């Protein structure tokens, strides 16, 4: 299939594909809702903030997510947005926003890492009162490693918190990223009145709506009117802005794309304050989709023939259909539903008849898509995270590494009569990458060992086993905390060591599980010729 390069370039220019990263409870899913609300994709925010009668957000579709009010799985949202600049210039251009919502909980770092292989920018959401937190730090390091530019949002400015300069200094000192605020907040944390636009000097004043369920009205005032209206709060904001300019902390696009600086916005996702400003910043500053390097060192340009990377496989999103959805990020070329592509890992053809655009749990058929878009392929049973789909010339992109697990449990079906369903469920969850599954001859297929980055992954497995397959399971924790890759020559000797058990992972890798790091150090000292290679750590 040949596509018009000019059309592809035009479509790529309109697209922004990004993820939101944060520590749990920083307001990530609420911000996702708020962005969709401002883009007029939903008429009312789906989060009713409070324990009683709380609705789940549109991006949280799993029953466990709804019950706990947390995100434990990534999901994709695509919507259109016409920027203020386009309106002012009389342009008809509408941007296509691909937002991939990520789990905030550290136990699901592996899922978040997969998402970060599929985006061109990230929004780092920080709680105004808590500042940088451990999970945010880890995820930022992943962004830095992958060269993903970051926009920083200080969320929950409507609640008591720290000062802007304190937060700016912390980010600069702890992660070496220089924040360049696009706006200065008017009003201290807990008294959020509006934003000083540092580039124009104007005042954007917000008005609260009932429960923050609808878009917050904005009023644009001149500096003199702002001074008359807000008094000392405006003066303090202006002084802070001037100080930042003296320190050289004004936005520089080149430094931002190089990962040295980060545009910063103060916001309240709950009240919908500062949300439009974030959308505008994404459209104006975040990079459009670009080329990607292949395993062999060649580069696939966006105008080259079609190629895509599968970064997520998920089943159970729609109980009525009970199908399986593979999320692919288009890297190059034009995608047309029904086209036959090549699965690079196997060399086999793959038909794309059932292709869908995803908005949380809702779906719609997609006929065409372009680089940067996220498309769901239905019932893609042969696809796994990290796989490449393409047309000639064939290309294969680097695989997505599995994280080093730190928690291990034996999973068993409560009823022996459910063994067939148990095996089917395990095969599906393994292909999705929900957990790693380890087996050896001693334990047999009826008692596989689950290996996870965090223990909450085991809860997801047991919950989905019951709700999607009707299989009640029990989990028994094992006394291992370290995993190392080994080889057949070392496996026998390692199997004889106290506190060690050797397993085969589903992908064929041999893993030695060791009781603790001290036992590992002893074995390495006593048997220096044995192969014990570290796996990729979640914080790498």
Is the pLDDT at 60 greater than 70, yes or no? no
The model's confidence at residue 59, banded by pLDDT at 50, 70 and 90, is: very low
Q: Looking at residue 146, what is its pLDDT?
A: 86
Looking at per-residue pLDDT, the higher value among 429 and 338 belongs to: 338
Q: Looking at residue 358, what is its pLDDT?
A: 72
CA distances from 131 to 21, 60, 136, 308, 496 (A): 14, 25, 10, 36, 48
Query: Which tens digits make up the pLDDT trace of 468-521?
Result: 889 999 999 999 999 999 999 999 999 999 999 999 998 889 999 999 999 999
Looking at per-residue pLDDT, the higher value among 459 and 529 belongs to: 529
Query: Which tens digits make up the pLDDT trace of 100-143?
Result: 877 655 556 677 778 888 999 999 999 999 999 887 887 888 88
CA distances from 377 to 79, 308, 358, 374, 433 (A): 18, 12, 10, 10, 16
- Rounded CA-CA distance 306/89 in Å is 33
Is the pLDDT at 263 greater than 70, yes or no? yes
- Rounded CA-CA distance 242/247 in Å is 9
Asked if 281 and 296 sit in the same domain, the reply is no
Identify the DSSP state of 398. P
- Rounded CA-CA distance 500/520 in Å is 9
Q: What residue has token string 């975040």?
A: 286
Residue 540 lies in a domain: no
Is the pLDDT at 55 greater than 50, yes or no? no
In terms of DSSP bridges, do strands 340-343 and 95-101 run parallel, antiparallel, or are they unpaired? unpaired
CA distances from 65 to 81, 134, 407, 464, 540 (A): 28, 22, 21, 12, 27
- Rounded CA-CA distance 223/243 in Å is 17
Highest-confidence segment of 280-289, 445-454, 456-465:
280-289
- Rounded CA-CA distance 31/275 in Å is 8
- Which residue numbers belong to the known binding site? 101-105
Is the pLDDT at 226 greater than 70, yes or no? yes
Asked if 298 and 281 sit in the same domain, the reply is no
Q: Looking at residue 262, what is its pLDDT?
A: 97
Picking from 337, 357, 390, the residue at the C-terminal end of a domain is 390
- Rounded CA-CA distance 244/520 in Å is 50
Indicate the range of 182-196, 215-229, 301-315, 443-457 predicted with least confidence. 443-457
Q: Which conformational region is residue 272 in: left (phi greater than 0), alpha (psi within -120 to 50 degrees), or beta?
A: left
Is the pLDDT at 360 greater than 80, yes or no? no
Q: Looking at residue 61, what is its pLDDT?
A: 41
The model's confidence at residue 317, banded by pLDDT at 50, 70 and 90, is: low
CA angle 239, 240, 243 (to 5 degrees): 85
Asked if 154 and 296 sit in the same domain, the reply is no
Range of the domain at 506: 407-526
Residue 400 lies in a domain: no
Q: Looking at residue 104, what is its pLDDT?
A: 54
Is the pLDDT at 294 greater than 90, yes or no? yes
- Rounded CA-CA distance 313/109 in Å is 16
Q: Which two tokens stand for residue 479?
A: 């006394």
Asked if 66 and 155 sit in the same domain, the reply is yes
When divided into structural domains, the chain yields a total of 3
- Which residue numbers belong to the known binding site for GTP? 101-105
Q: How many CB atoms sit inside 10 A of residue 252's CB?
A: 15
Mean pLDDT of the chain: 87
- In the chain, the percentage of residues whose pLDDT exceeds 90 is 62
Asked if 368 and 455 sit in the same domain, the reply is no
**Global pTM value:** 0.81
Question: Residues near 525 by Cβ (< 8 Å), separated by ≥ 6?
Answer: none
DSSP of 312-365, one letter per residue? EEEE-S-TTT--EEEEEEEEES-EETT-EEEETTTTEEEE--SEEEEETTEEEE
Question: Residues near 52 by Cβ (< 8 Å), separated by ≥ 6?
Answer: none
Q: Give Dmax (Cα) for the chain.
A: 80
Is the pLDDT at 74 greater than 70, yes or no? no
Is the pLDDT at 235 greater than 70, yes or no? yes
Asked if 331 and 472 sit in the same domain, the reply is no
Q: Kindly report the CATH number assigned to the domain that includes residue 485.
A: 3.30.70.3280
- In the chain, the percentage of residues whose pLDDT exceeds 70 is 88
Is the pLDDT at 81 greater than 80, yes or no? yes
Using alpha carbons, select from 421, 408, 397, 387 the residue that is nearest to residue 313.
387
Residue 458 lies in a domain: yes
Residue 397 lies in a domain: no
- Rounded CA-CA distance 328/307 in Å is 10
Q: Looking at residue 406, what is its pLDDT?
A: 87
Asked if 425 and 328 sit in the same domain, the reply is no
> Do 263 and 151 meet the contact criterion of CB atoms below 8 Å apart?
yes
Average pLDDT over residues 243-249: 96
Q: Kindly report the CATH number assigned to the domain that includes residue 319.
A: 2.40.30.10
Picking from 254, 285, 316, the residue at the C-terminal end of a domain is 285
CA angle 385, 341, 76 (to 5 degrees): 40
Q: Which residues pair with 374 in a beta bridge?
A: 329
Q: Looking at residue 65, what is its pLDDT?
A: 47
Is the pLDDT at 49 greater than 50, yes or no? no
Picking from 251, 285, 319, the residue at the C-terminal end of a domain is 285
Residue 512 lies in a domain: yes
Cis peptide before 294 (omega within 30 of 0): no
Average pLDDT over residues 283-296: 97
Residue 531 lies in a domain: no
Using alpha carbons, select from 295, 260, 34 the residue that is nearest to residue 143.
260
Asked if 199 and 64 sit in the same domain, the reply is yes
């Amino acid at each position: 299939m040949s596509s018009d390069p000019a059309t592809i370039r035009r479509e790529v220019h309109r697209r922004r594909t990004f993820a939101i990263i944060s520590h749990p409870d920083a307001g990530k899913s609420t911000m996702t809702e708020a962005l969709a609300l401002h883009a007029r994709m939903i008429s009312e925010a789906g989060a009713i903030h409070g324990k009683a009668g709380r609705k789940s957000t549109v991006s949280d579709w799993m029953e466990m997510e709804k019950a706990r009010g947390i995100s434990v799985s990534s999901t994709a949202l695509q919507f259109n947005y016409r920027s203020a600049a386009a309106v002012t210039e009389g342009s008809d251009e509408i941007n296509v926003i691909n937002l991939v919502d990520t789990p905030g909980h550290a136990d699901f770092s592996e899922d978040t890492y997969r998402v970060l292989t599929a985006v061109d920018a990230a929004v780092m959401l920080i709680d105004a009162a808590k500042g940088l937190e451990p999970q945010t730090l880890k995820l930022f390091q992943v962004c830095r490693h992958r060269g993903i530019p970051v926009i920083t949002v200080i969320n929950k400015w409507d609640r008591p918190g720290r000062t802007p300069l304190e937060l700016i200094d912390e980010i600069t000192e702890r992660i070496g990223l220089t924040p360049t605020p696009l706006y200065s907040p008017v009003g201290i944390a807990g008294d959020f009145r509006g934003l000083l636009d540092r580039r124009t000097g104007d005042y954007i004043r917000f008005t609260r709506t009932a429960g923050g369920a609808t878009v917050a009205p904005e009023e644009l005032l001149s500096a003199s009117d702002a001074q008359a209206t807000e008094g000392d709060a405006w003066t303090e904001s202006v002084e802070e802005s001037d100080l930042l300019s003296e320190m050289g902390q004004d936005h520089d696009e080149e430094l931002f794309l190089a990962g040295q600086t980060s545009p910063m916005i103060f916001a309240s996702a709950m009240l919908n304050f500062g949300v439009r400003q974030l959308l505008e910043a994404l459209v104006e500053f975040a990079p459009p989709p670009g080329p990607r390097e292949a395993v062999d060192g060649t580069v696939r340009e966006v105008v080259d023939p079609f190629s895509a990377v599968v970064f997520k496989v998920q089943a159970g999103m729609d109980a009525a259909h009970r199908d399986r959805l593979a999320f692919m990020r288009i890297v190059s070329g034009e995608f047309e539903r029904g086209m036959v592509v090549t699965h690079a890992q196997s060399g086999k053809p793959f038909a794309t008849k059932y292709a869908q655009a995803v908005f949380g749990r809702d779906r719609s058929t997609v006929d065409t898509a372009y680089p940067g878009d996220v498309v769901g392929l239905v019932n893609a049973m042969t696809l796994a995270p990290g796989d490449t789909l393409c047309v000639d010339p064939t290309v294969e992109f680097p695989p997505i590494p599995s994280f080093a697990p730190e928690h291990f449990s034996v999973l068993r079906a409560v009823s022996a009569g459910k063994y067939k369903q148990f095996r089917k469920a395990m095969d599906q969850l393994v292909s999705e990458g929900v957990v790693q599954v380890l087996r050896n001859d001693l334990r047999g297929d009826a008692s596989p060992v689950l290996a996870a980055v965090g223990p909450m992954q085991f809860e997801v497995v047991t919950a989905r086993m019951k709700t999607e397959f009707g299989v009640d399971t029990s989990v028994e924790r094992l006394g291992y905390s370290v995993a190392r890759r080994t080889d057949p020559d070392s496996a026998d000797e390692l199997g004889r060591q106290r506190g060690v058990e050797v397993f085969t992972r589903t992908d064929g890798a041999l893993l030695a599980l060791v009781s603790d790091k001290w036992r590992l150090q002893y074995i390495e000292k006593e048997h220096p010729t044995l192969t014990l290679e570290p796996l990729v750590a979640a914080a790498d």
